[in-house]
Chain A
């Protein structure tokens, strides 16, 4: 079975550029999560979708960050404009609504120069 699929695996960009991260959740899962992982702060929940609707975006750091889920099989996390402090690994995860278990993708390593 295919797991959570993220792209790209690595992204290197210059400060000020727009960055778009993509995620395909596991088929049949109706909850989708975007996390950010850094050495200093560990795993931070950025935003959570349920049935394609954003439920909790309180973890989104700034207005420069936005996320969409146009359908059940695709989500994007966009940073515009990007800044060096956005450098981190960004994970997408999905779950079945009633489940307490998250399934993570392999992550996108973002470097903003």
Chain B
């Protein structure tokens, strides 16, 4: 299957700092999604991106669909302790349903007080 390279694998930051993570692929994607997984829970959708170049915000979170359609990034501004968790990107190559989603390996975020 298609591979998504998500980086960094883990991050340790101080509360109040900004965070950036990204996903890249050798293939073109038509949709990028960003999910967050809290400990002991399932992934929850944060942001969905559907057009190349699209920049979308959700509170302190901002995500962009790369212009080449091969990458996406997620920024978190002014991190707080509840931002702790695993962040996953997911991409879809073809127009269609969620069954073609490919997930990245995740970024484990730790926020230190």
Contacts and interface: CB of A to CB of B under 8 A. Distances in A.
Interface of A: 4, 31, 33, 42-43, 45, 48, 50, 55-56, 91, 93, 95, 97-107, 109
Contacts of B23: none
B48 interface: yes
A106 B39 CA distance: 10
Contacts of A95: 97-98
Dominant SS at the A interface? strand
A101 B45 contact: yes
A37 to B, nearest CB: 9
Contacts of B41: 106-107
Interface string B93-113: 000111101011110000000
Contact of B98 (A91, A99, A105): A99
A98 B97 contact: yes
Nearest to A98: B97
Interface residues of B, number: 23
A103 to B, nearest CB: 7
Contacts of B33: 100-101
Given A42-B105, A42-B106, A43-B103, A102 B44 contact: no
A104 B97 contact: no
Interface string B42-55: 11110010100000
